[in-house]
């Protein structure tokens, strides 16, 4: 593995929390916020973000202990109004109460029970075999070509193909859904408007509404068919509940996993000693997957709304306040992780929060782990040496963060 020259990786490093607007997607794409988060954790771990004119204030939670505390308290910090900053600052989520990620209480528990049935061990075993075979072929073809954009040519195809198989979506539609998912939560370049994102989100919803109608009359052996034939409280699941949860699975399972994949390869290139340990069998793939998720933290924050006057990290928070839990900071908390700024593929224990925690722990976490594991196993089997051949691109979003393009050369 060859480390890219410093000029490729270097980004500005602000240190004053009041010098940046965390709601601005370009901040996360164009700046290295590591020093800022260290200062935030040390000086004001639960802080009021109220210095941007014309923007509603919100709370910023940066320490691991406080993030975990909020995750554990759905009775105080609710998800029904929205689970990302943008929707919470602009009136709330239109899918409130219908989508698993933005529901609370018994509604959330009921829908979660139904969706979890679609992630049965038998289905995950079947999917796992298919994912491993397809991933090995993708990596082998990339090695044959020598040079590729690892995001476009490899990582982008793995999670969306798995999700399409899980949901019973035709293979021919996977590229279309991948393009929409990429626009719905961010962009590969600055300048995307809120309108662009809303259009992409609407198109995903329309697609699954049409697909669900077909499966109601002719169900098959897939998760979407299972949802169309399931009941909640003695009644069939409503169409809007089905559609919104398919939408959530696509957005949550596609972007985060492929950002983790590309960031994971870059981490192995930048840390050749870790690649050697994994290549030689000293690092179990399961531990490497967890460290990649900690290191990359694709979903950099989660949003909540205070449901009543309460306290978090010693600060008084009023009912109705928007509270943002910064996984990206919690995953580098020196109070929890030994040498958190080091990439250690065999790190144990590894209490990262990249999949969330508590009642809203990611329902597709195990599928994501299977996909990441399949990729790293394929790299170990097919690749002897890799190097970055050009500047990586960055993903523009205030919710997701990572590498949007990674030009590499892969050698047997």
CATH of the domain at 358: 1.10.630.10
The pLDDT assigned to 5 comes to 44
Report the Cα 167 to chain-centroid distance in Å: 19
Confidence band for 8, pLDDT divided at 50, 70 and 90: very low
For the chain, how long is the longest CA-to-CA vector? 61
Confidence band for 187, pLDDT divided at 50, 70 and 90: low
Is residue 63 situated within a structural domain?
yes
Q: Which of 207, 286, 293 shows the shortest CA–CA distance to 246?
A: 207
- Average pLDDT on 395-400 reads 93
Q: Residues 59, 361: contact at Cβ < 8 Å?
A: no
Is residue 82 situated within a structural domain?
yes
Confidence band for 175, pLDDT divided at 50, 70 and 90: confident
Confidence band for 348, pLDDT divided at 50, 70 and 90: very high
Show the tokens assigned to 346. 């065999």
Q: How far apart are CA 108 and CA 245, in angstroms?
A: 11
Share of the chain above pLDDT 70, in %: 95
The pLDDT assigned to 2 comes to 58
The pLDDT assigned to 193 comes to 61
**DSSP SS3 for 187:** strand
In whole numbers, what is the pLDDT of the chain averaged over residues? 91
pLDDT reading at 198 higher than 60 = yes
- Average pLDDT on 312-339 reads 98
Q: Residues 297, 354: contact at Cβ < 8 Å?
A: yes
Residue numbers of the domain that contains 52: 6-411
- Strand 407-411 relative to strand 147-149, pairing: antiparallel
Q: How many residues does the chain have?
A: 412
CA atoms within 13 A on the CB side of 336: 20
Confidence band for 7, pLDDT divided at 50, 70 and 90: very low
- Average pLDDT on 142-170 reads 92
Distance (Å) of CA 116 to CA 89, 239, 331, 380, 401: 30, 18, 26, 31, 27
Is residue 306 situated within a structural domain?
yes
Is residue 113 situated within a structural domain?
yes
Q: Which of 299, 400, 292, 302 shows the shortest CA–CA distance to 350?
A: 292
Share of the chain above pLDDT 90, in %: 67
Q: Which of the residue ranges 168-172, 193-197, 258-262, 290-294 would you say has the lowest mean pLDDT?
A: 193-197
- pLDDT tens digit string along 229-245? 888 888 888 888 888 88
Q: Which of 237, 261, 163 shows the shortest CA–CA distance to 207?
A: 163
Distance (Å) of CA 104 to CA 2, 110, 305, 337: 47, 10, 11, 31
- Strand 322-325 relative to strand 58-61, pairing: parallel
Q: Which residues pair with 386 in a beta bridge?
A: 410
Q: Residues 315, 52: contact at Cβ < 8 Å?
A: no
Q: How far apart are CA 204 and CA 184, in angstroms?
A: 9
Distance (Å) of CA 389 to CA 113, 144, 211, 265: 46, 16, 41, 13
The pLDDT assigned to 185 comes to 60
Please tell me the total count of domains within the chain. 1
Q: How far apart are CA 130 and CA 140, in angstroms?
A: 16
Is residue 1 situated within a structural domain?
no
Q: Residues 211, 224: contact at Cβ < 8 Å?
A: yes
């Amino acid at each position: 593995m060859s480390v890219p020259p410093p000029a490729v990786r270097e980004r500005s490093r602000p240190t004053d929390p009041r010098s940046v607007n965390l709601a601005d997607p370009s901040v996360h794409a164009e700046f290295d916020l590591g020093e800022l988060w260290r200062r935030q954790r040390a000086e004001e771990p639960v802080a009021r973000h109220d210095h941007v004119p014309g923007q509603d204030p919100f709370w910023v939670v940066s320490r691991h202990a406080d993030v975990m505390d909020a995750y554990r308290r759905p009775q105080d910090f609710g998800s029904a109004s929205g689970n990302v900053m943008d929707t919470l600052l602009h009136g709330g989520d239109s899918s409130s109460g219908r989508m698993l990620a933005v529901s609370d209480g018994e509604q959330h528990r009921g829908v979660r029970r139904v969706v979890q049935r679609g992630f049965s061990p038998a289905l995950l075993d079947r999917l796992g075999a298919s994912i491993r075979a397809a991933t090995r072929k993708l990596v082998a073809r990339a090695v044959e070509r020598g040079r590729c954009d690892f995001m476009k040519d490899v990582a982008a195809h793995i999670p969306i193909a798995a999700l399409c198989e899980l949901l019973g979506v035709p293979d021919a539609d996977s590229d279309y859904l991948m393009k929409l998912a990429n626009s719905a939560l961010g962009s590969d370049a600055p300048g995307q408007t809120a309108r662009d994102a809303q259009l992409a989100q609407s198109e995903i919803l329309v697609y699954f509404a049409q697909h669900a109608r077909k499966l109601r009359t002719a169900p098959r052996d897939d998760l979407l068919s299972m949802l169309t034939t399931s009941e909640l409280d003695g009644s069939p699941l409503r169409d809007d509940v089905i559609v919104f949860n398919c939408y959530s699975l696509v957005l949550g399972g596609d972007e985060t996993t492929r950002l983790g994949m590309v960031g994971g390869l870059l981490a192995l290139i930048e840390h050749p000693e870790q690649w050697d340990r994994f290549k030689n069998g000293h690092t179990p793939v399961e531990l490497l997957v967890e460290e990649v998720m900690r290191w990359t933290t694709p979903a950099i924050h989660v949003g909540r709304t205070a449901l009543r006057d309460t306290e978090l990290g010693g600060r008084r928070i009023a009912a109705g306040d928007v509270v943002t839990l910064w996984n990206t900071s919690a995953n580098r908390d020196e109070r929890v992780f030994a040498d958190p700024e080091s990439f250690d593929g065999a790190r144990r224990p590894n209490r990262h929060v990249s999949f969330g925690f508590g009642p809203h722990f990611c329902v597709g976490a195990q599928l994501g782990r299977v996909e990441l594991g399949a990729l790293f196993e394929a790299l170990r089997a097919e690749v002897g040496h890799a190097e970055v051949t050009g500047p990586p691109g960055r993903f523009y979003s205030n919710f997701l963060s990572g590498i949007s393009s990674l030009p590499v050369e892969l050698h047997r």
